[in-house]
Amino acid sequence: MKDIQKRIEELTEQLNYHNYKYYVEDSPEISDFEFDAMLTELEKLEEEHPEYKKANSPTMRVGGEAQTSFSPVRHEVPMLSQQKAFSKEEILDFDRRVKAVVPDAKYVVEQKIDGLSVSLEYTDGEFTRGSTRGDGVTGEDVTENLKTIRTIPLKLKDNIPFLEVRGEVFMSRASFEKINAELEETEQPLFANPRNAAAGSLRQLDPKIAAKRSLDIFVFNIQQIQGVEIHSHTEGLQFLKEQGFKTILDKNEYSSIEDAFDRIMEIGEERGELYFDIDGAVVKVNDLASRARLGDTAKFPRWSIAYKYPAEKQTTKILDIKVQVGRTGVITPLAILDTVHIAGSNVSRATLHNLDYIREKDIRIGDTVVIEKAGDIIPAVVEVVTDERTGDEIEFNMPSHCPECGALVVREEGEAAYRCTGINCPAQRMRNIIHFVSRGAMDIDGLGPSIIEQMLDRKLIETAADLYYLNPADIADMDKLGEKSAQNLINALEKSKTNPLYRLINAFGIRHIGEKAAKILSAKYKTLDALREATPLELTVIPDIGEKMALSVVEFFEQEQNKAFIKRLEDAGVNCVDDTENSIKDTRFEGKTFVLTGTLENYKRSEAGAIIESYGGKTSSSVSKKTDYVLAGTEAGSKLDKANALGVTVISEAKFEEMIK
């Protein structure tokens, strides 16, 4: 056992060292493969011998158990905000106020990271608590989420009795673009900017989600320290760096405010080249004793000020307006610009968002326009210089058919976006196939995104229907597959041909039609042929099928490419008939509506819902007076509260099992 304990200690120490070299110093000494092998070994040993797991184990970086809420944390040292300056005159005024109290004051200048301010507390060198700034006096305990940030040391180099530091959690521009691409792929709302993404990620109740978001941190201040004497800000940051923190350390000290302002301007020129966002530069008095003499106001320290950079703007010309088709079918107009340099990079394109935006600003091809980088990242047209118009400018109109596949482009009532309706659209192909094979649709085991991507790259498939014409030899040599796995995948495809009709309807990805609506349509029309002949009026008569849903169904089946797609599925032998005419023999829940909430011990909620529906009942996502039962598991939330308020019958999992015996 001592050998196991020793090995766990060795792996913990080695992995923490290599983690620091990779994430903080950006100078890795071993390969990712070697790091992952050691981490896997440590995870296995800790799982078998949890009594030997160290408090600073690197396995904590992947996130622990989900929390139900965040506890409040009162900051012993208030986390004050910064007074702001928008001009050189305001910086000079700040200098005059400081020099009136500390005539020989010297300054440091730092980048102002655009992120989320947090406090990190260490006791005897161990990370014990982390919290958000909140209102400056009271924040939230987000310790478990902060542990997932690899640039936060879980153990310091020295066993300092107590240390509290302040830092800024942020998301790099590359991570921001990656996460938004993933959200777009699954049709979830996008984050507006990296700061918004960092804040949303840090406040996830499930640390495992936070761990996947690649958050980072710069530590910029010592709030409290015991056992060590620190005399200046630069000395403090050097000390923190030696303890394992990632800091922005500019050792230059400025006696002249003019020199300090020159550095502010330099940082402004550099910001476009950084891998993270900044929204200003901070001027601070370096000497800590001088800071104490200057003191604080109720809102901000008198010894520092933040200079805020204006959004950089440039004037250029719109040469053309083209459209691009996103992964979800949304068609976005894009301004093709006469290239201009702005915020550190050359810009030749700018998003125009949608047609409403274009009409509101009266943007035309040939216009001279003012552009800026929103959040210093996304170029946007903010103004048209109408005085420059010659009369040759051309008004833009959205295309009636998709430029990628030729399918009809639609704009639904109440929406700003125009969408391509083509199931075979190259721009949407990957997403459509992923949805087709997903668990709620055709449920084809073993067919993940990486395999689909390889199939598309090799031109083995163009649509999901082509999957049913593959043979094991086509795919056996692909990454992550061998002969056995290839045959298993073919078997899974063959098995999926016998799926119920509702799964196929759901797999089509018809807008507004999910699994529940697919079941309703399957039960009503019994065959795909009958559904294809349905009119909007017939469809809207069906309970739970609204006008938008009806129009989406009709438009889907009218598309020529969709007709060809369905024909190929039929030729492959995919089931297109609902054979559940008499399958519901036990209708004990007929006419009853259930809402499921919380975590069930013996069932997934989807499994419990399937049981309810197999007995003729219905499931709903929201509680109302028409709800008959709320099945509540552990950690049930607002739905349970609403059920109690409305007097809806609440049943436990045990009661549910009695009802289905």
Dihedral sign computed on CA atoms, order 125, 11, 20, 191: negative
Residue 563 has pLDDT above 80, yes or no: yes
pLDDT category, 26, cuts 50, 70, 90? low
Q: Which of 320, 389, 326, 391 is nearest to 350 (CA)?
A: 320
Residues 6 or more apart whose Cβ sits within 8 Å of residue 76: 164, 224
CA–CA distance, 144 with 63 (Å, rounded to integer): 7
Q: What is the pLDDT of residue 188?
A: 66
Instruction: Please state, in angstroms and rounded to a whole number, the distance separating the CA atoms of residues 28 and 26.
Output: 6
What is the per-residue pLDDT for 543? Answer: 79
Residue-wise pLDDT tens digits, 234-260: 999 999 999 999 998 788 999 999 999
- The residue that leads in pLDDT, 573 or 39, is 573
What is d(CA 15, CA 27) in angstroms, rounded to the nearest whole number? 14
For residue 371, what are the domain limits? 313-395
Lowest average pLDDT, out of 74-88, 410-424, 526-540, goes to 410-424
> Is 548 designated active site?
no
What is residue 631's predicted lDDT score, i.e. its pLDDT? Answer: 93
Separation CA 221–CA 119 (nearest Å): 10
How much is the pLDDT for 540? 86
Give domain status of residue 578, yes or no. Answer: no
Shared domain check, 382 and 453: no
Rounded-to-integer distance, Cα 399 and Cα 410, Å: 10
Give the number of residues written for the chain: 661
State the pLDDT confidence band at 660, using cuts at 50, 70 and 90.
confident
* Residue 408 within a domain: no
Q: What angle do CA 376, 379, 380 make, to 5 degrees?
A: 120
Identify whether the C-beta of residue 343 lies closer than 8 Å to the C-beta of residue 375.
no
Say if 250 falls within a structural domain: yes
Q: Does 79 lie in the same domain as 54?
A: no
Q: Could you tell me the maximum CA-CA distance found in the chain, to the nearest angstrom?
A: 92
Owner of token pair 């050998």: 3
* Residue in the block written with tokens 């001592």: 2
Query: What phi and psi values does residue 266 have, to the nearest 5 degrees?
Result: -65, -45
Q: Does position 583 have pLDDT exceeding 50, yes or no?
A: no
What residues contact 639, with CB distance under 8 A and at least 6 apart?
A: 595, 597, 622, 623, 630, 632
Domain for residue 542, yes or no? yes
Is 80 in the same domain as 155?
yes
Q: Answer yes or no: do 166 and 111 share one domain.
A: yes
- Of 72-81, 203-212, 364-373, 494-503, least confident by mean pLDDT is 203-212
> What's the pLDDT band for 651 if we cut at 50, 70, 90?
very high
More confident residue, 31 or 632: 632
293-300 contacts at long range (C-beta below 8 A, 24 or more positions apart)? 293/101, 293/102, 294/98, 294/101, 294/102, 296/78, 296/80, 299/80, 299/81, 299/83, 300/80, 300/81, 300/82, 300/83
353, HSE (Cβ side, Cα atoms, 13 Å):
16
pLDDT at residue 6 is higher than 90:
no
**Which has the closest alpha carbon to 555: 411, 397, 417, 431?**
411
Residue 277: φ, ψ to 5°: -90, 140
Mean pLDDT of all residues in 108-136? 94
Same domain, 300 and 320: no
Domain match, 599 and 567 both: no
Question: pLDDT tens digits for 330-387?
Answer: 898 999 999 887 765 678 888 888 899 999 999 999 999 998 875 545 688 889 999 9
Asked if residue 67 is part of any domain, the answer here is no
CATH number at residue 618: 3.40.50.10190
Distance CA 505, CA 516 (A): 10
For the cut 80, the answer to whether the pLDDT of residue 635 exceeds it is no
* Residue 80 and residue 55 share a domain: no
Percent of the chain with pLDDT over 70: 94
Query: Is 90 exceeded by the pLDDT of residue 394?
Result: yes
Mean pLDDT of 564-588: 81
Give the pLDDT score at 312: 73
What rounded mean pLDDT belongs to the chain?
A: 87
pTM higher than 0.85, yes or no? no
In the numeric block, the tokens 């118009």 are attached to 389
Q: What is the CA radius of gyration of the chain?
A: 30
**Does position 261 have pLDDT exceeding 60, yes or no?**
yes
* Residue indicated by tokens 């170029």: 379
- Going by C-alpha positions, the residue among 397, 405, 396, 380 that lies closest to residue 329 is 405
pLDDT value at position 63?
63
Catalytic residue among 54, 84, 106, 112: 112
Q: Which of 18, 36, 62 is the last residue of a domain?
A: 62
Q: Does any domain span residue 281?
A: yes
Shared domain for 106 and 186, answered yes or no, is: yes
How far, in Å, are 170, 305, 486 from residue 109 at the CA level?
19, 10, 60
**Residue 629 CB coordination number (10 Å):** 21
Query: Looking at the 3D structure of the chain, how many domains does it have?
Result: 5
Q: Check residues 469 and 613 and name the one with the higher pLDDT.
A: 469
Confidence of residue 1 (pLDDT cuts 50, 70, 90): low
Whether 306 has a pLDDT exceeding 90, the answer reads yes
Both 269 and 149 in one domain: the answer is yes
Please report, to the nearest 10 degrees, the dihedral formed by the alpha carbons of residues 168, 173, 178, 181 taken in order. 110
Q: Give residue-wise pLDDT tens across range 396-440.
A: 999 999 998 888 898 877 778 898 888 778 777 888 898 899 888
CATH of the domain at 360: 2.40.50.140
pLDDT above 80 for 465: yes
Examine the pLDDT at 582 and tell me if it is beyond 80.
no
Domain contains 563: yes
pLDDT band of 657, cuts 50, 70, 90: confident
Whether 188 is covered by a domain: the verdict is yes
Last residue of a domain, one of 395, 421, 437: 395
CA distance 656 to 214: 41
Whether the pLDDT of residue 101 is over 90: the answer is yes
Enclosing H/E stretch for 596: strand 593-597
Encode pLDDT of 211-239 as tens digits. 888 899 999 999 999 999 999 999 999 99
Q: What is the 3-state secondary structure (H, E, C) of 360-429?
A: HHCCEECCEEEEEEECCCEEEEEEECHHHCCCCCEECCCCCECCCCCCEEECCCCCCCEEECCCCCCCCH
Average pLDDT over residues 429-457: 86
Domain's final residue, options 395, 421, 449: 395
> What's at 151, amino acid-wise?
T
Rounded Cα distance, 271 and 114, in Å:
12
What is residue 282's predicted lDDT score, i.e. its pLDDT? Answer: 96
According to the model, what pLDDT value does residue 169 have? 95
Same domain? For 50 and 121 the reply is no
pLDDT of residue 557: 93
| Claim to verify: residue 236 and residue 321 sit in the same structural domain | no
Strand partners, 596: 631
Is pLDDT larger for residue 159 or for residue 373?
159
C-alpha to C-alpha distances, 1 to 5, 45, 55, 93, nearest whole angstrom: 6, 11, 19, 66
